Copies of this chain bind each other. A is one copy, B any other.
Amino acid sequence: MDKRRSAKSVRSAVEPRQGAQAIRRALAVLRILAAGREEGVPLAEVIRATALTRPTVHRIVHVLIEEGIVERHGRSGRYAIGNQVPELALARPRPSRLLVAANPSLQRASAEIGDTLFLTVRTGNDTLCVDRRIGVYPIQVLSIEVGARRPLGVSSAGVAILAAMPAQEARKIVAANEKRFEAYRTDVATVLGEVTAARRLGYGMREIGLVQGTKSISTWIKTPDGQPAAAMTVSAVRTRLGPRREQEVAEILLREARIIEQAIG
């Protein structure tokens, strides 16, 4: 408790504000629910993912239902993000600067590559798909949709974003997501290995994508202050991304990532 006093002058950067445990917990719950999209998430999984106790999660979720922030699905009893969240979101200008800046690059790269392209941002300890372009090639990986949210580290976009940040910060995020990795059949060590490999390679890559038989390549996009802002990903059936083509695709993605960085600078 004396720590608080001594750190007074640098608090904003260093020390989390106190006196709002409940609010922080409610937000943690909301973020887990957001990962469940329309179908929602059963209570037990929220408890697991947040490491909170049953009564606490139960209370939070039900208060949020009363407030319209969370909805409960009739038959399944799963909890999901409610109507009022997009209503609050209308207060912000849309589309975001990043989306505007990335648009031409996505257009260009999609035409050039022909496979599905994703734009993914970091939000807290998650990755969030914010844009998608379908290519011209007849076989496309469509399983990841705009709004898809996963723990940072389980997708190639997540690996790329982690690779673009200071190693220590990346380790902290990966550690925080440990409990959630189980559901994706991975673990802290595997993810950190992939991140290191991505740093060496200059881009993120997954031989085995989240979808069976697919392969993904991701480049990171940094803000002027060096923080990773987003990742640009190509996903395709594995046979379409052999070593030679991997090289080609990576070069296009790297080129466009630099262009987007200029645009948001």
CA distance A86 to B97 in the complex (A): 13
A125 to chain B: closest CB distance in Å?
11
Contacts of A85 in B (CB 8 A): 85, 88-89, 91-92
What is the chain B residue whose CB lies nearest that of A87? B123
Whether B59 pairs with A19 at a CB distance below 8 angstroms is yes
Tell me the complex Cα distance, A30–B38, Å: 23
In the complex, chain B residues whose CB is within 8 Å of the CB of A16 = 66
Asked if residues A88 and B34 are in contact (CB atoms below 8 Å), the reply is yes
Would you call A24 an interface residue if the criterion is a C-beta within 8 Å of the partner chain's C-beta atoms? Answer: yes
Contact at A130–B92, with CB atoms within 8 Å?
Answer: no
Quick one: given A20-B59, A20-B60, A85-B85, are A27 and B69 in contact (CB under 8 Å)? yes
Is the pair B91, A59 in contact by a Cβ cutoff of 8 Å?
no
**A37 contacts partner chain B, Cβ-Cβ < 8 Å:** yes
Main secondary structure of the interface of A (DSSP, over half): mixed
A33 to B91, CA, bound (A): 8
The number of residues on chain A lying at the interface, defined by a beta carbon within 8 Å of a beta carbon of chain B, is 50
Q: Across the interface, which residues of B come within 8 angstroms of A123, CB to CB? A: 68, 83-84, 87
With A17-B62, A85-B85 as known contacts, state yes or no: A23 contacts B22, CB within 8 Å: yes
- Chain B residues contacting A63 (CB-CB under 8 Å) are 17, 19-20, 23-24
Q: Which residues of A are at the interface with B, using a C-beta cutoff of 8 A?
A: 16-17, 19-20, 22-24, 26-27, 30-31, 33-38, 59-60, 62-64, 66-69, 80-94, 96, 121, 123-124, 128, 130, 146-147, 149
Name 4 extra pairs, CB < 8 A, besides A34-B91, A35-B91, A89-B89.
A68-B123, A81-B92, A83-B123, A90-B147
